[in-house]
């Protein structure tokens, strides 16, 4: 079975050529995805729907991982996510915390400044 570090790295890479089904397959059925400025999303099906909606605005996201550490089932990475869409590339500094169990992501929390998204795309363009 791949390590938690390998699972998180593969999930991050999958956003470069995004497919909501492929990305959501990295998550446990009862996973929680929480972009800290927004409300948490519960369950793989809801995560898949969020990803699909997000990708209706953005063509892809490149995750440039600067640092990643793993201990046990916890993986943390500091990265720059480059949002590609609406005719521009927008870099977003992010800190991500992942919990992995039985080969699937059970929790993903991303910490970032929502004001950077609002400045780049306007409040109406930010994903909900």
Cα–Cα distance, 46 to 85 (Å, whole number): 23
Is 19 marked active-site?
A: no
**Out of 19, 110, 113, 124, which one is annotated catalytic?**
110
Max Cα–Cα distance, the chain, nearest Å: 42
Catalytic position from the list 17, 62, 64, 81: 81
Say if residue 127 is exposed, middle or buried (CB neighbours under 10 Å; 0-12, 13-18, 19+).
middle
Whether 110 is a known active-site residue: answer yes
CB atoms within 10 A of CB 23: 19
Q: Which residues are catalytic?
A: 81, 110
């Amino acid at each position: 079975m791949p390590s938690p570090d390998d699972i998180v790295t593969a999930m991050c890479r999958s956003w470069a050529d995004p497919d909501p089904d492929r990305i959501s397959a990295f998550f446990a059925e009862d996973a929680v995805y929480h972009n800290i400025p927004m409300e948490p999303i519960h369950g793989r099906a809801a995560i898949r729907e969020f990803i699909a909606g997000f990708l209706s605005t953005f063509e892809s996201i490149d995750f440039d991982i600067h640092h990643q550490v793993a201990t046990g089932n916890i993986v943390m990475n500091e990265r720059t996510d480059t949002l590609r869409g609406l005719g521009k590339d927008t870099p977003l500094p992010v800190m991500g915390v992942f919990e992995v169990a039985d080969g699937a992501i059970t929790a993903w929390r991303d910490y970032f400044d929502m004001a950077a998204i609002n400045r780049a795309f306007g409040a109406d363009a930010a994903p909900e």
